[in-house]
């Protein structure tokens, strides 16, 4: 039968009609009747509408759950703000095998549980006297770039600045260890001087190795046998660390915050750099320990080397011109760029480990802006064999 010609009977008509009678037996019952779609078609449309409505509701609920979950996550916990290639670019090395497959600083740092920001005690900061009885002090802050196990140059640098432990406080800008031949001696010396430090990418790496050695000694021995010379040296160094040295390194914050430095103002000591517009406590530790440049297309920090135009410090100094309380960043890490002094940043990694210079920025209450002091590392290279080439 042609469905389009099948009349749609009312409830009363259905009740009174004989179900065995033909539709055209009572033509008067069909007079002036409308011819809507058949009952089966209407039911299908009803089910379809209900299904679509249910799907929309479920989608809205799912979207809400995703949004709430994302907002509840801590800054940096979600990797959506960074492309995978950019995440990898932030890392200089990979540690092969087992738990070592995580990029340096990525899963590594998170597992280690570091301090992000620590304030330098006020008593260690130089300050001027005033008319109300405060005579000020003659204290100095001595910021030192990447030492990388270069013990003799470190001793020579402190001698050159006339270091006096009773009034001077040393701040090491990360990468104190590895590569050079006297990493353990550098650590012991820094600890004996009650120096402050910030965590560099190399400390981060060695601490991860140390943790792995303690937790899985057998797998680490196997890894050592099958690794290259660089990793073998790092494992050897990590294994030699004492518990005291390990604890000291673990206490190094990612950012050392220093308020009211005479002639300078607010200072932040880090290993690699800071991101513009992000509060210190919200900075991504991986970026702080690894960045060199800013990707011009994404605005994302990367460890890639670049021209001055895209150096992270260029962006930082431009931004500080427009803020009420600018922060001066003192950092290391960028050895190929060398000593880099700007209005609101001091780059102190001058490639000592490869025969360059070891640099210090010395700040006291009398000299506005501080003084740069350097020693020649090539002439002072450590002679004996050691842990980390």
pLDDT tens readout for residues 331-359: 999 999 999 999 999 999 999 999 999 99
Q: What pLDDT shows up at residue 104? A: 37
pLDDT tens readout for residues 194-217: 999 999 999 999 999 999 999 988
Instruction: Name every residue whose Cβ is closer than 8 Å to that of residue 89 and which is 6 or more positions away in sequence.
Output: 302, 303, 304
Find, among 215, 183, 212, the residue nearest to 200 by Cα: 183
Kindly tell me if the per-residue pLDDT of 122 is higher than 90. Answer: yes
Instruction: Name every residue whose Cβ is closer than 8 Å to that of residue 128 and which is 6 or more positions away in sequence.
Output: 136, 262, 365
Kindly tell me if the per-residue pLDDT of 330 is higher than 50. Answer: yes
Residue 246, by phi and psi: left (phi above 0), alpha (psi -120 to 50) or beta? alpha
What is the spatial distance between Cα 158 and Cα 171, in angstroms, rounded to a whole number?
12
What are the domain boundaries of the chain?
3-72, 93-376
Residue 342, by phi and psi: left (phi above 0), alpha (psi -120 to 50) or beta? beta
Mean pLDDT along residues 231-247: 95
- Assess contact for 96 and 236: CB atoms under 8 A: no
Find, among 252, 120, 268, the residue nearest to 190 by Cα: 252
pLDDT classification of 306: cutoffs 50, 70, 90: confident
CATH class of 93-376: alpha beta
């Amino acid at each position: 039968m042609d469905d389009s010609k099948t009349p749609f009977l009312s409830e009363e008509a259905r009740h009174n009609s004989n179900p065995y009678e033909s539709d055209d037996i009572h033509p008067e019952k069909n007079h002036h009747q409308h011819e809507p779609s058949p009952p089966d078609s209407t039911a299908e449309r009803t089910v379809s509408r209900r299904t679509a409505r249910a799907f929309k509701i479920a989608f809205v609920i799912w979207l809400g759950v995703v949004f709430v979950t994302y907002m509840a996550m801590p800054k940096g916990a979600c990797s959506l703000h960074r492309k995978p290639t950019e995440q990898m670019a932030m890392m200089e090395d990979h540690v092969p095998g087992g738990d070592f497959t995580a990029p340096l600083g990525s899963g590594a740092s998170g597992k280690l549980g570091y301090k992000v920001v620590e304030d330098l005690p006020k008593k260690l900061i130089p300050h001027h006297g005033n008319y109300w009885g405060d005579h000020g002090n003659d204290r100095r802050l001595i910021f030192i770039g990447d030492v990388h196990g270069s013990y003799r140059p470190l001793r020579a640098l402190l001698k050159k600045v006339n270091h006096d432990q009773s009034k001077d406080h040393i701040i090491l800008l990360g990468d104190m260890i590895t590569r050079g031949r006297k990493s353990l001696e550098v650590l012991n010396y820094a600890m004996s001087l009650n120096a402050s430090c910030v965590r560099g990418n190399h400390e981060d790496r060695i601490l991860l190795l140390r943790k792995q050695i303690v937790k899985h000694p057998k797998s680490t021995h196997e890894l050592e046998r099958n690794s290259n010379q660089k990793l073998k040296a790092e494992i050897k160094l990590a294994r030699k660390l004492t518990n005291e040295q390990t604890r000291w390194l673990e206490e190094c914050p990612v950012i050392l915050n220093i308020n009211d430095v005479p002639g300078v103002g607010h200072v932040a000591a880090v290993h690699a750099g800071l991101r513009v517009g992000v509060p210190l406590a919200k900075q991504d530790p991986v970026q702080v320990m690894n960045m060199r440049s800013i990707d011009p297309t994404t605005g994302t920090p990367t460890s890639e080397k670049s021209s001055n135009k895209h150096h992270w410090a260029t962006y930082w100094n431009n931004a500080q011109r427009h803020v009420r309380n600018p922060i001066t960043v003192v950092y290391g890490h960028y050895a190929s760029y060398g000593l880099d002094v700007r209005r609101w940043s001091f780059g102190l990694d001058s490639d000592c480990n490869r025969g360059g210079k070891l640099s210090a920025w010395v700040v006291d209450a009398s000299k506005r802006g501080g003084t740069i002091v350097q020693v020649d590392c090539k002439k002072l290279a450590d002679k004996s064999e050691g842990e980390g080439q």
